[in-house]
Every structure is written in structure tokens, then in C-alpha cells.
Structure 1
């Protein structure tokens, strides 16, 4: 293995321990799980006032979260639908913003630590910034869902308006819809790693962590889902709440990947800067 790669991984492992990523990931996951179900309340409350069936929401959630958590989420969704009210809509939105904002604050703290940058101050400004990031994330998720749900109709409308051949362009459009969640993930991660550190970062120094985390999250979710569905005994150990533990572990691991991505970007930039400095010093001494 290339010596530079070995050095990079050794430094990354030291950063993982020194920056206490495991504990920070647990903190972020705790607040995300608190925001997850209120966010579902908010989305489902909106859907029940439209002609879009709530089953579509579950269909796309099932593609993201581990399969063992889907029955628990489905039961929760059914209860929300039965007890639909405007109060749930308001409370769900407010609680999502508060819990999500707290999770974003914890995530931002981990990213600032990775870059050794200063967080937003004072407290009210950092809270407001975190809420704005949460709203941005929620909007991106809603836009993604709308794109997935109405993708066929949108494609038909565009092709009819532009007089395009559906036989040629519709398969391409369908392929685009399949990779849309992955592209959305890359876009969200890029925004997080580009904006939160509050430092001047070159675009090329943001991509390594973005790509690694995107691919890592995809393959981790796939492998973890296979493991839970075939080898895990969570449901036997914990009964009906086994799905909650699976969801917590998945969220915890996902948060850990997010922080590791920030460490990768920061370390990559640091090593490149050190290389440039050494090169300049060699030129001066010659």
C-alpha cells in the first residue's frame, strides 16, 4: 500500500480518537431520533390533506432505513393518520425544528472540531443558524419526495412540451429517478461540508469526504440491512421495540460517517497545505 495512504489512515484514526467522534455521534443520533418522528408527523399531516396516499411515504422510507424498522415506523404512521389534526401538524413542525436544530448544532460542533474552526456565536445566533439548516434539509427531503412521487407525470409533461420521443428519453428519465436519491445525498453532504466549517474551502477539498461518505453510507446501509434481516436477533431480544434499536444503531453509524467525512476533508486539506509549504521551503533553500 502506498505510504501516503498509510500515513493518511494513521492520522485519521488519531483524529477519530482525539475528537471523540463516537460520543459526538451518539449525541447527534439521540437528537435525530427525537426529530425523526415529529418530522413524520409533519409530512403525514400534510399528505392527509392532499390526494397523495401516505403509503407512498412509507415506500420510500423503506428504501432508506433498515427493513426491520419499517413495521415499527408503519404502525406509528397509521396511528398518526387515525389521530390526524392541525395540532399535530403545528407541534410536529415545531418539535422537528427544535430537535433537528439541536442535532445540527451537535453535528456542526463536530465539524468545527475537525477543522479547528470557531462555531457561530452567540447562542441565539447558533440556534437560529441550526434551525435554518434544518429547514433547508427538510425542504430538500420534501423536494426529493415530490420528485420521486410525481416523477412520471413530470417526465410526461416535459417530453410533451418539448415534443421529445418518449421511447428514447423516458428510459433515461427513469434512470435519473433511480439515481436521484444518491445525487440528493451527495448534494446535501456537499452543502454541509462546504458551509458549516465557516472557512474558505476549495471545492476540490470538499469532494473527498463527500464521495467517501456517500458511497460508504450506501454500502453500509445495504450490508447492515442484510445483516439485520438475516442474522440479527433484535426482535427476539427486545420484542416490538427491536425496530427502534435497529433505527438507533443505523442513525448512530450514519452520524459517525458524517463526522468522519469532515475529518477526511480537513486532513486532506491539511496534508495538501503542508506539502505546498514544504515545497516552498525547498525552493527557498536551493
Structure 2
């Protein structure tokens, strides 16, 4: 009953017209094209971002220990090897985590910052279109916001990798039990189950931050939650489905090689970007209907 009342209050009781409205807004605001732009520049920034990640892991290794760094490196290389199945690119990625690239690092950072700023500029444009707002911020201010969101995304990916995938803080249940001084057994099972809700919560929090900071629109934090929930569940679903597809089609991917692997990565980034931008359209539509309800009262 509460859900029905909430949906009726938002004007969403009939999902058919609501979905049709979202589809119309997605088409009108060129969400597919902007998601493709984000995916292209995201793919362009992958290897420079990996070099930045390798450098950051080197510094973090002094705090969390070399075991976490080694495990994180293995996770990244294993992920890349599932896409760029040719051994040459995989070895190149692995060498990023083993070598010292002092001079190359500056160029890589500049390339990554440029590509990320272009990609997140497309995100800003899409979210402004969702709210039917003109972009009144200066070009420099918009690029500063885009670069900040891009660097924040790299740091967020690093934290997700260290905390949820490889690190002792939210790693396996045995490691956490030892870290906190608890006995293993039931705690290990409990913590391994807790890791997924914690990861989902982190994704929702990051999506809320994106929806709050990217558009030129003052929004309350709670009004960013519907799109953030949609994005977080969508990101997990897309990533899990894509991972399953790559495992099934692994033989065909061997034939595609490095070029095909790059296309696969671009498609994956495109789907993630599309989910993010559609979540923005969802927030804008719900916000519009809430404002319409308030005007009628």
C-alpha cells in the first residue's frame, strides 16, 4: 500500500507511460551518442589511467603492504587478459606495474586527464540536457569539474580494488577476522556476504555524487537517489553479464585479438555510460513530476 501511494504521488502508478516518457527523453537528448563519446574517451584513457593506478598502488603499498599490491596487480592483469587476449598487450599492462616510468608518467597523466575531461564533459552535457538547462559555467570551470570527476573516478576505482577485491580491509573473511582479532568460522561467511551490499552502497554513493556535482543544477542529495540506485544495479548487472559473455565467447575472442579486445572494452564502457546517463534522465523526470505535484498543491 505504501509503495502504491508513493507511486501515485509521483505519478508513476502506470509504468507504461512512464517508460515511454523515459525512452522519448533518451532519444531526444541523444543519450546513445553521448554515451558513445564517453566510451571512446574512456577507452583512450585506459592505459594512461593504468599507469596512474600502478603508481598510486606503489605509494599505497607502503601503507597496506606489498601483498595487497601484488594481489591488486594480479586482479587488474587478469581482467585485462580476459579482454585483450593477445599476450603482447597483457605483458605491456603487467610491465606497467613492475617498471619505473618516471618520464613517461607525466605524459600519461596529461593524456589521461585530457581523455577523462572530454569523457566527463559529455556526461555533464547529457545531464544538463536531461534537466533542460543551458550550460552557463565557463569552459574552464566545466573542464575543472570534468577533470575532478575523472580523477575522482580513478581514485574510487583504486579504493574499490584495494578494499573490496584484494585488500585486507574488506577482503576475505579470514583476513578481516585476523585484522579485527575475531575468530573465523561464522564471521567469515557473514563478512563475505556483507562485502556485496557494501560494494553496492559504495557504487550508489559515487553515483549520487556524480549526479549532484556534474549538472549545472542545484539538487538535493536525496533526489539523486533513484537514478543512483538504477545506475548501481545497472553497473553490476552489465559487468556480471559482460563477464559471463566473455567467458562463454573466450574462444572467439582469441581470434579477435588485441583490436577486438579494445572494441570489447569500448562496448563495456558504452553500456556503463548509457546506464549512468539514463539514470540521470530518471532523476530529471521524477524531479519534474515532483515539482509539478508541488505546484498543484
Normalization by structure 1: what TM-score?
0.81
Uncovered stretches (5+) of structure 2, i.e. residues with no partner:
1-11
Q: Secondary structure at the match of 1:84?
A: coil
Paired position in structure 2 for 1:284? none
Shift of 1:183: 2.4
What are the superposed Cα offsets for residues 164-189 of structure 1, whole Å, 9 maximum, x if unpaired?
66666565444444444322211110
Deviation of 1:69 (Å): 4.4
* Aligned match for 1:104, one of 109, 114, 120: 120
Show CA shifts across 1:209-248 (max 9, x none).
1111211221122223223332587526633422111111
| Normalised TM-score (structure 2) | 0.79
Seen in structure 2, the aligned counterparts of structure 1 residues 71 and 169 have a Cα distance that, compared at 3 Å, is farther
Change (3 A) 1:183 1:201: same
1:1-286 matches, within 5 Å, as 4-47=14-57, 50=61, 51-52=66-67, 53-59=69-75, 67-69=82-84, 74-81=90-97, 84-119=100-135, 121-148=137-164, 149-151=167-169, 155=176, 159-160=180-181, 171-231=189-249, 235=253, 238-278=256-296, 280=297
Q: How far apart, CA to CA, are the structure 1 residues paired with 2:125 and 2:75?
A: 33
The 1:80–1:217 alpha-carbon spacing in structure 2 relative to 1, beyond 3 Å, is: same
CA distance in structure 2 between the partners assigned to 1:59 and 1:135 by the alignment: 21
The 10-residue stretch of structure 1 (251-260 or 130-139) with the greater mean CA deviation from structure 2? 130-139
Return the alpha-carbon distance in structure 1 between the equivalents of residues 177 and 105 of structure 2. 33
3-state DSSP of counterpart to 2:14: helix
Which segments of 5 or more consecutive residues in structure 1 lack a partner in the other structure? 281-286
Structure 1 Cα separation of the partners of residues 209 and 240 of structure 2: 24
Report the alpha carbon displacement of residue 95 of structure 1 after superposing the two structures with TM. 1.9
Runs of 4+ in 1 over 4 A off after TM superposition: 52-55, 60-63, 69-73, 152-158, 164-174, 231-234
From the superposition, tell whether residues 60 and 170 of structure 1 become closer, same or farther in structure 2 (CA, over 3 Å). Answer: farther
CA distance in structure 2 between the partners assigned to 1:206 and 1:81 by the alignment = 37
CA displacement at 1:18 relative to structure 2 = 0.5
What is the rounded CA distance, in whole Å, between the counterparts of 1:66 and 1:275 in structure 2? 52
CA distance in 2, matches of 1:21, 1:58: 35
Contact 2:145 2:214 in 1 (8 A): no
SS in structure 2 opposite 1:42? helix
Shift of the alpha carbon at 1:84?
Answer: 3.0
Inter-partner Cα distance in structure 2 for 1:146 and 1:114: 34
RMSD over aligned Cα atoms: 3.1
- Asked if structure 1 preserves the Cα contact closer than 8 Å seen for 2:39 and 2:273, the reply is yes
